[in-house]
Structure 1
Amino acid sequence: MAEREEIALGATLDTLLKAVRRQLAECRAEDADFEARLLVEHFTGTSRTDAISDPDRPVTRQAVGEIDAALARRRAGEPVYRILGFREFYGLTLKLSPQTLEPRPDTETLVDLALAEARRIVASRGRCRILDLGTGTGAIALALLSMVPEAEAVGVDISEEALATARTNADINGQRERFVALRSNWLTDVDGMFDLIVSNPPYIPTADLETLSREVREHDPRAALDGGADGLDFYRSIAAGAHRHLEGEGAVAVETGYNQKSAVEAIFAKEGYSTVRTARDLGGRDRAMLFMPVRSG
């Protein structure tokens, strides 16, 4: 209670930032300094430069109240980006909703891997049609569109709320004309052919869901996490069905769990794919794989 009173009386950027940082440290936020800056900058409409150059700037009572409410949510285990309602990903600002996975830096590894392939396809064919399975916020598809002007994408999701969020994100980031949101249970209702199929599928084994952090377990949608008994159900589905929608020189790129590389490679090999490239995330863990069908003759 004392900390909340101190924040309520903290009338400057400097005192507010210090008080927020202390409260976040007490609730064991992973990076209290970073989260404090995010919350203070968002609710006061200031920047890090403002905090350095004008630390005595007065803070409005409304901003203090909004930050106090945000801290209560954070203490209850809600991730900071869920509180803000958006997250930056690959240079884009993406809105979040309860039915979308929060895009994380690890997935940028998949974008990097797919981006090189999309550019290769454009160089060869002059365009690139992308299918993003389990699109959620639209993060992967929209990141690729932002980097490849010749590309267009279809984002597939079973959740109407997720698709609405992806459409909004396409609008926000100027990609609505090249992005189509399609409701489908993975490939079930997908028509047409694509040059590149991408996906960050659910890959957590069901039994491991309860071991995830509170922030993930309680706030990311379970359907975007649960990969079945061994975490590999959706890789099997993608590998079995992708060939029906893949152009002749097309490829499939997927994100994987750090310990799933060999298993995912075997699943795609069984369906007639060869591993073209793999990529590791910033922590040095196996994180993304690119496959192409084995061509006879």
Structure 2
Amino acid sequence: MGRSNRAGRARPADGPPADATTQDPGGRSHAQGPLVHPVDSGTAELRPDRDRPRGWELFLDGAPQSLVDLDDPAHLGFEYQRRIGHLVDLAAPPGRPIGVLHLGGGALTLARYVAATRPRSRQQVAEIDTALTELVRAQLPLERGWQIRVRGADARSVLERAPEGAADLVIVDVFSGARVPAHCATTEFAALAARALAPGGRLVANIADGSALAFARAQTATLLAVFPEVCLVADPAVLRGKRFGNLVLVAATTPIPIDELGRRVASDSALGRIEHGRGLVDFTAGASPLTDASAVPSPAPPPGVFR
């Protein structure tokens, strides 16, 4: 779940009937308009991107989820995905293959980015909505040769079975509706991710919050209880509680390249701020880590936030 870099683009579903899925895979033109289709988690809609001839934006129950450009899989149109893209870029020297475990798949935008920028990378994706995956594969097909394996299973169950020490990156972008589920927001979940990471690997998690940022503060405290190195990247307005939005958390057992990450975030068109060290501890404001016994889902987005 995220926000594109062009404000006000999200709108209620207004596309063709749900059975309008007979177009040639990957060959839909913008003249054909949006495509609306029921999936396991609700209603998915693919809307044409107004600036890219083969760009499509995925919405789930009206919430913007991701954007895919079939002509340019390295294009990341959402702020939070560009920030995660910076962590992909910093995971190893340019072009070197890496191992990535994606928890949450959606339109497979980030998996496409890894495959395009780091050929021969080994990627596994956990996406519980198998109907959504089928829709994405049919309408936004992956390129041949990409080593992307998608499993139709709950993210945490896949993480529990992940090989120990095999992933250079664990990317967590798990939403049930527009909320992060409680069982993917605990110290036990973070410990499983730490176990799956190779030496020097990093956990990167996308969450959403607003107002007092109680969930974001608790998530920060949760990761600090498991990892010695944690930082947070978000729009300054989100960090001030002025609007609901995405926050990207990064956790590792080795130092995070804060200076280089900061330079890349500063080069983005959207404003971004990094909290780390003392500033991040202050951000938690005494929040306690969440456990399987105490966790709650992230807050629901305010009404109209995607309009």
Letter in 2 for 1:244: R
CA contact (8 A) 1:142 1:175 kept: no
1:206-238 alpha-carbon deviations (Å, 9 max, x no partner): xxxxxxxxxxxxxxxxx333445xxx5422164
CA contact (8 A) 1:99 1:162 kept: no
Q: Hey, what's the Cα distance between the residues in 1 that align with 2:203 and 2:237?
A: 22
| Counterpart selection for 1:292 from 247, 252, 267 | 252
The aligned residue for residue 262 of structure 1 is 217
Q: Hey, what's the Cα distance between the residues in 2 that align with 1:234 and 1:290?
A: 15
Q: Give the Å deviation of 1:32.
A: 11
Segments of structure 1 that go 5 or more residues without pairing to the other structure are: 1-29, 40-44, 48-62, 71-77, 203-222
Q: Give the Å deviation of 1:286.
A: 5.5
| Counterpart selection for 2:78 from 100, 108, 114 | 108
Letter in 2 for 1:151: S
Q: Give the Å deviation of 1:272.
A: 2.7
The aligned residue for residue 143 of structure 1 is 113
Q: Hey, what's the Cα distance between the residues in 2 that align with 1:283 and 1:116?
A: 20
Alignment of 1:12-31 (within 5 A): none
Q: Give the Å deviation of 1:257.
A: 1.5
Measured on the aligned residues, the alpha-carbon RMSD in Å equals 4.8
The structure in which a higher percent of residues are helix is: 1
The aligned residue for residue 251 of structure 1 is 202
Letter in 2 for 1:270: A
* Percentage of matched positions with identical amino acids: 10
Q: 1:89 and 1:143, CA in 2 relative to 1: closer, same or farther beyond 3 A?
A: farther
Name the count of aligned residue pairs. 210
CA contact (8 A) 1:122 1:150 kept: no
The aligned residue for residue 143 of structure 2 is 174
Segments of structure 2 that go 5 or more residues without pairing to the other structure are: 1-7, 17-28, 37-41, 68-75, 240-244, 256-307
Q: Give the Å deviation of 1:249.
A: 0.8
CA contact (8 A) 2:85 2:110 kept: no
Q: Give the Å deviation of 1:289.
A: 1.6
CA contact (8 A) 2:170 2:202 kept: yes
Q: Give the Å deviation of 1:157.
A: 1.5
Q: Give the Å deviation of 1:196.
A: 0.6
Q: Give the Å deviation of 1:99.
A: 9.1
Q: Hey, what's the Cα distance between the residues in 2 that align with 1:123 and 1:248?
A: 16
The aligned residue for residue 269 of structure 2 is none
1:13-55 alpha-carbon deviations (Å, 9 max, x no partner): xxxxxxxxxxxxxxxxx6699x99x99xxxxx788xxxxxxxx
Letter in 1 for 2:162: D
Q: 1:160 and 1:111, CA in 2 relative to 1: closer, same or farther beyond 3 A?
A: same
The structure in which a higher percent of residues are strand is: 2
Letter in 2 for 1:242: A
Q: Give the Å deviation of 1:129.
A: 1.2
Q: Give the Å deviation of 1:131.
A: 1.2
1:244 is paired with a residue whose SS is helix
Point out which structure has higher relative CO (alpha carbons under 8 A, 6+ apart): 2
Letter in 2 for 1:199: V
